[in-house]
Amino acid sequence: MSKLLASSKAPSTCSKYTLYWNRWVTWVTEFNGSSPLPADSATFAIYLSRLICQSESKSIIEATMASVSYFHATAGLPSPTLDPFVKAIGEGGRRVCAKPVCKKEPIVRDNVVSFAKVLEYPNCSWQI
């Protein structure tokens, strides 16, 4: 049955989940010696806050939450990621760690026509 569980995710996803799960296990063991499974919601919220304060990326916050959720689900245990407080910390972390959106100006027809003229496309079917 463990092979079926492992096959439920892509190998790269399993590797990523294992990486972030192991980081969580190491931290919680050193932090207060409590068991990582089932995880205490308050302790997990502290861990997420630590990641956010270290300016970890949005993807690391998301991967950490997904990995903890996955390992709890495979063990048949409720995940601390479902706790409303943990969800709020995670959402706050995603916002804090997200890179700002840099909106670009849309390209307009006149620019495309100018590019075509400069590059002298012989097969350009646009009417210039």
Report the CATH number at residue 65.
1.10.150.130
Residue 85 lies in a domain: yes
Q: Which domain holds residue 51?
A: 8-97
Q: CA-to-CA distance for 25 and 37, rounded, in angstroms?
A: 9
Residue 124 lies in a domain: no
Number of domains in the chain: 1
Residue 125 lies in a domain: no
| Model confidence at 124: pLDDT above 70 | no
Residue 30 lies in a domain: yes
pLDDT at 45: 94
Residue 111 lies in a domain: no
| Model confidence at 126: pLDDT above 60 | no
Residue 92 lies in a domain: yes
pLDDT at 24: 95
* Percent of the chain residues past pLDDT 90, beyond the cut: 44
2 band by pLDDT with thresholds 50, 70 and 90: low
The number of C-alpha atoms within 13 Å of 88 and in the hemisphere containing its C-beta is 5
Q: What is the pLDDT of residues 10-49, one digit of tens each?
A: 888 888 999 999 999 999 999 888 889 899 999 999 999 9
Residue 68 lies in a domain: yes
Residue 102 lies in a domain: no
